Structure 1
Amino acid sequence: MYGVTLDLEETTAATTSATDTNDDKNLETEKKDTVKRKVALLLGFLGTKYGGFQINPEQKTIQAEMELALYRSGMISKDNFGTQHKYSWSNSARTDKGVHACAQVCSLKLELPENDWEAHTDNNTVEERLVGARQRLQKNLPDDICVISMNRTTRNFCAKTQRDRVRYQYMIPSFLLHPDWRTIMTEQGVDINSGREARENYSKMPLSVEMATKIQLILREYRSTEDNRNLLQSALKKYEGTHPFHNFTKNIKPGQPQGQRFIESFEVSDPVIVDGMEWIPTEVLGQSFLLHQIRKMVCVAVDIARGAVPIEFIDKALSNKENLALHVAPAQGLFLEMSYFDGYNRRKNSQSNHDLLDLNWTVDGPVKDRWIQFRDVVRDHIVQEEKNEMNFIQYLFR
């Protein structure tokens, strides 16, 4: 179902060393004729090779790759390179290590030739004016980062503060709902009860590759039932509304206001079978999410759907009087699917900025087509990653 290949305009892999002596020669535009204006970038990326989105001096990150590509494309100056506030960088979400996205939004001031900002015909939209700049930027990015759209915005646009809602998808392999997975592991010679303290170091694989592969071949044949999918939906529905989610993150205590979050919807889609394994897509829409919140919500709901805990456990986890330690589902099933800026669009249009396109990537057209294409790439990657690395098998064992 998700077997597609990524087709980006003139995509090439960029080297990641910021000390490349040829950087100055690679600048593609001359500064003397450039004009600096605010834009919004709609980005897609596969997070497997990165330590998260935000710049971290000790790890390879998506933001660092973006900054290097912007510099090599001549869109930020040498003086501003490495100092993000000088070009007003902001991003709408901070994704964890290993999490993917097809709708991360970043705002910044770009230096582009005046010709890039101008429409060449009366029918050109603002998005079409920046196609050349988007393609130049894409050429300097690795092939696991995609610039889906580049739109000019108002001067005061900020991706972090002006996003209204965000939708994430978590793909659950159906075998997580298998009621007898412990019996299957035991029958294969796995001691699931011993050595749990020794397995707390998650940097080590608790199951050998051979054993994990053997168990995966058995569990991948499992198909979810209507009953456990309904139970999964009932559990996810309990998160909807405004609740304290201090138990679903870390470093927030019961009663602290920053733990309050509003969930608009949490839905289960029909299962799909890819390469012989069934997956259950889920979508959660909310204003904002805490660190690990979605992965912990999924973990508890899966335990309920499997019959490991009663559905009333969620009421306890959402209580302001409880302080619980909850497990975290693997990052590999999660991706940021869509970002919404309805409030910004209304304010922009009320101020007669009609020459600027709305930040709405759900409208039919080339941008939506690229977004759908990259979303399928993300889904395909999740399926292949589980086949190769067996992260969810290891998660069950731990």
Structure 2
Amino acid sequence: MAKGLRYKAVIMYDGTQFSGFQVQPDQRTVQGELERALAELAKGVKVRVHGAGRTDAGVHSRGQIIHFDFPFEIDPEGLMIGMNAKTTAEITISNLIRVDDSFHARYMAKGKKYSYRVHNNRFKDPFLRHYSYHHRYPMNKAKVEHALERLTGTHDFTSFASTHSDKEDKIRTIYKASVEVNEETGEWIFTFTGNGFLYNMIRIIIGTLLQVADGRREPEEITTIIAKKERESAGPTASPVGLCMEEVYYTLKDIPGFE
């Protein structure tokens, strides 16, 4: 069989009921769901899906990028409609185009943008429980912003990487780190753009920032934590529920904060 035609797609998904993006034995995953749908459309031919990133169980996406080689030619619009018809309501393909065979969703990515949502109210909001982490202690925005400034730039982020990370090189660049607060709802929205993120890196950063926010740490400690290059020096790994992959960038000039 011929290699097939390569397609690139933007997908959104609610990760609540998935065991992450990547296919795992006997687990329900986003990649598995997409490959099941594509196999149906390809009349039983297995189609391998490649993602720009491997989100964990419970993590969401508004801008995950995938590519795959389809065994026969089909109009991108028709293929997108077919995929949306075959996947569950938790997944939506929002854009799909033909690309050159050299395109690779993961290896050609130059940067990514993630958000993390925290609702800072006395009691949990049941309607946010899958999409925003509840932190009930008072939070200081000025201190958080000071800490975020210390995270930006190029650093060895060993302290903020899971001990299970398979990447030997822990040096990454955070181009922009910010937070917005909705005073009416009490929701804090953290945003990070960088050239790449280590396994659990953003969740560990958030776990540490929440300690800064509620007074358990000072913003200046971020610099010390980075310098120590020890996972134990940073805060806990925050829940996956607040994390969302927002966008993947394939040219440097498109990355917010890149200069």
TM-score range, shorter chain: 0.7 to 0.9
**Cα distance, 1:268 vs. partner?**
0.9
Give the match for residue 25 of structure 2. Answer: 57
Give the match for residue 135 of structure 1. Answer: 81
246, 255, 258: which one aligns with 2:169: 258
Q: 1:321 to 1:53 in 2, by over 3 A?
A: closer
Give the match for residue 329 of structure 1. Answer: 238
Preserved CA contact (<8 Å) 2:158 2:229: no
Q: 1:252 to 1:94 in 2, by over 3 A?
A: closer
Is 1:42 the equivalent of 2:10? yes
Give the match for residue 257 of structure 2. Answer: none
Give the match for residue 52 of structure 2. Answer: 92
Amino acid at match of 1:229: K
Preserved CA contact (<8 Å) 2:120 2:137: yes
TM-score by length of 2: 0.84
TM-score by length of 1: 0.56
More strand by proportion, 1 or 2?
Answer: 2
Is 1:307 the equivalent of 2:218? no
**Cα distance, 1:316 vs. partner?**
2.1
1:153-212 CA-partner distances (Å, limit 9, x unpaired): 11100001111111001111124xx8xx9xxxxxxxxxxxxxxxxxxxxxxxxxxxxx99
**4+ runs deviating over 2 angstroms:** 77-81, 111-114, 222-225, 250-253, 320-323
**Cα distance, 1:242 vs. partner?**
1.0
Amino acid at match of 1:285: T
**Cα distance, 1:257 vs. partner?**
5.0
Give the match for residue 289 of structure 1. Answer: 197
Give the match for residue 377 of structure 1. Answer: none
Structure 1: which 5+ runs fail to align? 1-30, 117-129, 182-210, 347-359, 361-398
152, 170, 178: which one aligns with 1:267: 178
Q: Output the CA distance in 2 between the equivalents of 1:324 and 1:316.
A: 12
**Cα distance, 1:252 vs. partner?**
6.8
**Cα distance, 1:265 vs. partner?**
0.7
Is 1:339 the equivalent of 2:245? no
Give the match for residue 150 of structure 1. Answer: 96
Q: Output the CA distance in 2 between the equivalents of 1:112 and 1:35.
A: 9
1:218-249 CA-partner distances (Å, limit 9, x unpaired): xx9x7967xx1111111122110111111212
More helix by proportion, 1 or 2?
Answer: 1
Q: 1:278 to 1:164 in 2, by over 3 A?
A: same
Q: 1:102 to 1:321 in 2, by over 3 A?
A: closer
Amino acid at match of 1:251: T
**Cα distance, 1:251 vs. partner?**
2.7
Of all paired residues, the percent bearing the same amino acid is 22
1:313-365 CA-partner distances (Å, limit 9, x unpaired): 2122101454525311111111001111116xx9xxxxxxxxxxxxx8xxxxx
Number of equivalences: 246
Amino acid at match of 1:293: M
Q: Output the CA distance in 1 between the equivalents of 2:72 and 2:95.
A: 16
Q: Which has the larger radius of gyration?
A: 1
Structure 2: which 5+ runs fail to align? 255-259
Preserved CA contact (<8 Å) 1:101 1:336: yes
Q: 1:100 to 1:321 in 2, by over 3 A?
A: closer
Q: Output the CA distance in 1 between the equivalents of 2:38 and 2:120.
A: 41
Q: Output the CA distance in 2 between the equivalents of 1:272 and 1:66.
A: 38
